[in-house]
Structure 1
Amino acid sequence: MRGVRARRAAALGASAVSGLALALLATGCGTARPGMVVEIVPAELPADAADRASKGKGQEPPARLIVAQGDLVDHRVSPDGADSPLVSVDRPECRELAFAAAGFLPTGRTGWAKASVVAVPVPLPQDATERQKRAAAQDAASSTVTVVTLGSYAGDTAGRHFAEVRAAGQACTDGYSATANGETVKVTRVVPHAVHGGDEAVGYTVEAEQDGEHHATELVVVRKGGTLANFVAGRTSGAAELAAPVVEAQLLKLG
């Protein structure tokens, strides 16, 4: 993998993200354009590598491939052994998208792993003002968390699951309601990103409302052979921006 190039396509509106929204990682805001465009350039593979990977053979288990501390500069990586909550939706055709937005990979996995990544704040200068200190404290308290989930699948199962996410994204641009742990958010719109990487990739900005507040999160799903990589960005306030270095580091490890 040669890398990831990211640029801001448009600024997202800032608003607080509720505890449920972070749990679901399925939040959005009323922006007219997606907030992040991520271009992931795949490396050339040996002639038989794609065929072997597509059959789910010869792959490292996700626990060895998940991004870890040391793979990223100026980021804190925390392994996460807890699976994401199951999400129910009012529109069955939106289920796989809701799962992905919650960081949940479909069942049938032969293995899976998960990690949370947060950028380390830049230290303040010694002569920082009180205003700068307060702003830094607020930023630290609402840092964007990028949750990475890997799942490996046998045969062509990963390809089928990826196709279901893509179909859900196309069918559910006008939104859906998602419920987990007794809490519900209303997704008002799903906006596609321009994303390229792995064998195939899709990306979305998921826009939602809860308790009268508007929220935004970024979602990218990449298939690399028989492995699905799910990236979701969320934060407790402000705009959630998918961390391009996290995507790059993870896809580098996938090969």
Structure 2
Amino acid sequence: MRGVRARRAAALIVSGLALAVLTTGCGTGRPTVIVVEEGVPAAAAELPGSTTGTARKGQQAAPPRGRAQETPEHLLVAQGDLLDHKVTPEAHEGVPVGADRPECRELARAVSGFLPAGRTGWARASVVAMASALPDDAPEGQKRAAALDAASSTVTVVTLGSYAGDGAHGHFAEVQASGRACEGGYATTADGESVTVTRVVPHAASGGDEALAYTVEAERDGEPYQTELMVVRKGGTLVNFHASRRSGEAQLAAPAIEAQVRKLG
């Protein structure tokens, strides 16, 4: 597991806006996801529980009033923004999920990729890493292994919504409060199946005007289930990144996050 973390940290080093993965001091061994500007040390970003740093400052920022919102489709990450990932626009949005604890509802919805109501527009795309092409004479075993790896690749779903006034700021605060209240878990129903969330692990995150990130560990039909969630607000725009996986670690596509944060300006 530690080896996987190390490889994941190495993969999150990007130019321009850097995604740094740091280990939290709470003993969970989970990563901290931080989006920082080039030249700004990751150590300067806020860790969970601290009262200073860029993440805390972002939480205080309200979106500028009266600023016209661009069409969401123009703000959403697209194929031209990524070279080694396939980006597929999506038009479908699932039904909002509920939770057995009312205070966990907004977190449960965010984990399912749902953005709050009141949007003036929204757009969604899925992002998955493209497998490296194998030579025609590659051994059959290598081809089968590559096909299985591609089939099990984690898909990062990016959902973007625009809100008028202080709507995005208010909705972000609701998700943040829900996450703090529900770290001990909750129960929900997704796609007709009961899901028991056993633990919600917060990670420090910064990007845009404010950001948050969680690892959500759950069980579905007795099988472990993990979702990685990151929510970023920039002005009146909210972006939800989530990736789920039934086995192993769900890993958000770092290049997709870097490209999307950059595109928000």
Q: What does residue range 115-126 of structure 1 map to in structure 2 within 5 Å?
A: 115-125=125-135
Matched residue, 2:36: 41
Task: Please tell me whether the aligned partners of residues 4 and 244 of structure 1 are also in contact (alpha carbons under 8 angstroms).
Answer: no
Residue from 190, 193, 198 that aligns with 1:188: 198
Out of 3, 17, 28, which is 1:3 matched to? 17
Question: What are the within-5 Å matches in structure 2 for residues 58-97 of structure 1?
Answer: 58-97=68-107
TM-score (norm 2): 0.79
TM-score, scaled to structure 1? 0.82
Identity %: 62
Unpaired segments of 5 or more residues in structure 2? Answer: 1-14, 39-60
Shift of residue 223 of structure 1? 0.7
1:220 Cα deviation (Å)?
A: 0.2
Determine which of 212, 216, 219 is the counterpart of 1:209: 219
Q: Give the partner amino acid of 1:85.
A: V
SS of the residue 1:110 aligns to: strand
Q: How many Å apart are 1:133 and its aligned residue?
A: 2.3
Higher relative contact order (CA 8 A, sep 6+): 1
Query: Structure 1 residue 73: deviation in Å?
Result: 1.3
CA positional deviation for 1:126: 5.0
Shift of 1:8: 7.2
**Alpha-carbon distance in structure 2 between the residues aligned to 1:217 and 1:52:** 28
Of the candidates 175, 188, 202, which is equivalent to residue 165 of structure 1?
175
Q: In the alignment, residue 58 of structure 1 is paired with which amino acid? A: A
**Contact (CA 8 Å) 2:226, 2:246: kept in 1 or not?**
no
Aligned mates of 2:220, 2:62 — CA distance in 1: 44
The C-alpha deviation readout for 1:46-76, integer Å capped at 9, x for no partner, is: xxxxx99532622212111111111101111
Measure the CA separation in 2 of the matches of 1:188 and 1:119: 29
Partner of 1:245: 255
Q: Which residue of 1 aligns with 2:52?
A: none
User: What secondary structure does 1:7 align onto?
Assistant: strand
Alignment of 1:101-112 (within 5 A): 101-112=111-122
1:232·1:242 contact (CA, 8 Å) conserved in 2? yes
Q: Provide the aligned C-alpha RMSD in A.
A: 2.3
Counting matched residue pairs gives 227
* Inter-partner Cα distance in structure 2 for 1:213 and 1:181: 16
CA contact (8 A) 1:143 1:236 kept: no
